[in-house]
Amino acid sequence: MSKLQKPFTIGKKVLPSNVFYAPLAGCSDFPFRRMSAKYRPGLMYCEMVKMDALVRHDQGTFHMLDYSPEMHPIGGQICGSKPAIAGQAAKIIEDLGFDVVDLNCGCPVDKITKDGSGSGMLKNPERIGEVIANMVAAVKIPVTVKIRAGWDEQNINATTITKIAEQAGAQAICIHGRTRAQGYKGPANWDHIKACKQAATTIKVIGNGDIVNADAAKRMFEYTGCDAILVARGTMGQPWIAEDIIRHLQGESLPERSIEDYRQALLDHFNFTAEYHQDRRVVVDMRRVGCWYIKKSAGTRAFRELISKADNLDHVRELIQEFPMGDLMASANEAEEALCEDAC
Ligand SMILES: Cc1cc2nc3c(=O)[nH]c(=O)nc-3n(C[C@H](O)[C@H](O)[C@H](O)COP(=O)(O)O)c2cc1C
């Protein structure tokens, strides 16, 4: 085992590795997590759910938290700003059998931040401490928190929040190296992750931002000294990235993946989606999911156009089987464009 890749002890739990898969709203759903589970990330998170919706037992919200045994270790992420319901919401996640519960302090979307939730919490670090303390008091599973570097360049406060989260009893803090003002654009600044690692005493630090391949993962560990990494957009269309990262950290070479490997992975993802969602939803989802797998080849746009005309599952399957997936070495620009289109 390499110096960088190791089992990850969090509270009383030992996770198999320190390479994690991120919560991705609208993306890390049940079929996505079935694909991910094949490659055994150390931990995978479900997409975020709202605390308010959980405590009023909203069925759609519970549906988003569906998982199957092979998805363990699995984390549930809650989003909200009210200390009074945070404990109850965390307990619901624990009672559903999740291994970890995370607090979202990073979502940049206006409708989330306007009541102080998501990255809105970055403006009120004391509130983050209160919410975490109430979660910790309510559950036995480890509590983690996911933040950004700060609200904007003038208000970088990730190290302050790291100390507050540690005091409040969180076992780990994930730092996304972008500010809220950046959204998902521009490079993540890993200096902020490094600074949080230096500020941390007992709390584990998880680095996040721009881990798009195994080499970037290694650089994140080496540059920041972080204890674990969280891969986000890098998991889209590359469900095997955890396996690649671990091989790379151990000094092994990575398997060459052909166009047909990508096509097969997309077909698997399609089949998992068709088994789980209603037909109409499958067609809609495949427009997006298909582009992830095709992003490294030429023709994402052409695929999206074709698939948007498909009106049943057989048609979608046929398109995937027959789409000329082109050259996997297509320009990095197109890959990047496709990733940006996916960001919510
Ligand atoms: C489509 C999309 C959905 C996301 N949903 C969530 C979410 O539910 N919870 C969360 O904490 N972060 C969410 N994020 C942020 C990612 O987890 C991650 O912090 C961010 O994308 C930076 O990592 P990357 O540069 O490797 O993509 C989302 C990001 C994207 C692009």
Beta-carbon neighbour count of residue 39 at 10 Å?
A: 19
For ligand 1, pick from 20, 21, 24, 206 the residue to mutate: most ligand atoms within 8 Å of CB: 24
* pLDDT beyond 90 at 294: no
Residue 254 lies in a domain: no
* pLDDT beyond 80 at 330: no
Final residue in a domain of this structure, among 249, 277, 298: 249
Q: What number is the average pLDDT over the span 203-232?
A: 98
Give me the residue label for tokens 């746009």. Answer: 301
pLDDT of 339: 42
Q: Which atom of ligand 1 is nearest to the CA of 234?
A: 26
* pLDDT beyond 60 at 341: no
pLDDT of 240: 97
- CATH number, domain with residue 242: 3.20.20.70
pLDDT tens figures, 63-111 = 999 999 999 999 999 999 999 999 999 999 999 999 999 999 999 999 9
**Do 178 and 305 fall within a single domain?**
no
- Alpha helices by DSSP H, listed for the chain, are 30-37, 51-55, 59-64, 83-95, 110-113, 125-138, 158-168, 190-199, 214-224, 241-249, 259-276, 279-294, 300-309, 313-322, 332-342
pLDDT of 332: 40
Range of the domain at 299: 259-337
Residue 343 lies in a domain: no
State the distance from the centre of ligand 1 to the C-alpha of 247, rounded, in angstroms.
Answer: 24
**Do 183 and 269 fall within a single domain?**
no
pLDDT: which is higher, 300 or 89 = 89
* pLDDT beyond 90 at 175: yes
pLDDT: which is higher, 140 or 284 = 140
What's CA 17's distance to the chain center, in Å?
16
Residue 46 lies in a domain: yes
**Do 33 and 144 fall within a single domain?**
yes
* pLDDT beyond 50 at 130: yes
State the distance from the centre of ligand 1 to the C-alpha of 176, rounded, in angstroms.
Answer: 9
pLDDT of 296: 64
Residue 3 lies in a domain: no
Q: How many domains does the chain have?
A: 2
State the distance from the centre of ligand 1 to the C-alpha of 324, rounded, in angstroms.
Answer: 30
User: Residues 46, 23: contact at Cβ < 8 Å?
Assistant: yes
pLDDT of 141: 98
**Do 163 and 230 fall within a single domain?**
yes
For ligand 1, pick from 101, 212, 233 the residue to mutate: most ligand atoms within 8 Å of CB: 233
Q: Which atom of ligand 1 is nearest to the CA of 178?
A: 22
**Do 271 and 198 fall within a single domain?**
no
DSSP 73: S
Least confident of 18-32, 113-127, 214-228, 275-289: 275-289
Q: At what angle do helices 259-276 and 30-37 cross, to 10 degrees?
A: 130
Q: Which atom of ligand 1 is nearest to the CA of 233?
A: 27
State the distance from the centre of ligand 1 to the C-alpha of 259, rounded, in angstroms.
Answer: 27
Q: Which of 142, 70, 72 is nearest to 101 (CA)?
A: 142
Final residue in a domain of this structure, among 249, 270, 304: 249
Q: What number is the average pLDDT over the span 255-262?
A: 89
Final residue in a domain of this structure, among 214, 249, 284: 249
* pLDDT beyond 50 at 307: yes
The answer, yes or no, to whether the previous bond of 73 is cis (omega within 30 of 0) is: yes
Average pLDDT of every residue of the chain: 92
Q: Collapsing DSSP states into helix, strand and coil, what is residue 155? A: coil
Q: Label residue 298 by pLDDT band (50, 70, 90).
A: low
* pLDDT beyond 70 at 61: yes
- Alpha carbon dihedral 99, 104, 106, 107, in 10-degree steps, equals 110
Q: Which of 323, 325, 330, 328 is nearest to 257 (CA)?
A: 328
Q: Label residue 285 by pLDDT band (50, 70, 90).
A: very high
* pLDDT beyond 50 at 337: no
Q: What six digits make up the tokens of 245?
A: 């990262």
- Alpha helices by DSSP H, listed for 42-169, are 51-55, 59-64, 83-95, 110-113, 125-138, 158-168
pLDDT tens figures, 198-207 = 999 999 999 9
Beta-carbon neighbour count of residue 321 at 10 Å?
A: 11
Q: What number is the average pLDDT over the span 158-187?
A: 98
**Do 102 and 190 fall within a single domain?**
yes
**Do 321 and 287 fall within a single domain?**
yes
Residue whose CA is at the smallest distance from ligand 1 atom 29 = 24
**Do 235 and 279 fall within a single domain?**
no
What type of residue sits at position 82?
A: K
Residue 218 lies in a domain: yes
Helix H or strand E encompassing 101: strand 100-105
Least confident of 147-156, 233-242, 277-286: 277-286
Q: Label residue 1 by pLDDT band (50, 70, 90).
A: low
Distances (CA, A) of 223 to 142, 144, 170, 268: 26, 22, 24, 36
**Do 227 and 165 fall within a single domain?**
yes
* pLDDT beyond 80 at 331: no
Q: What six digits make up the tokens of 85?
A: 């319901």
pLDDT of 329: 40
Q: What percent of the chain has pLDDT over 90?
A: 81
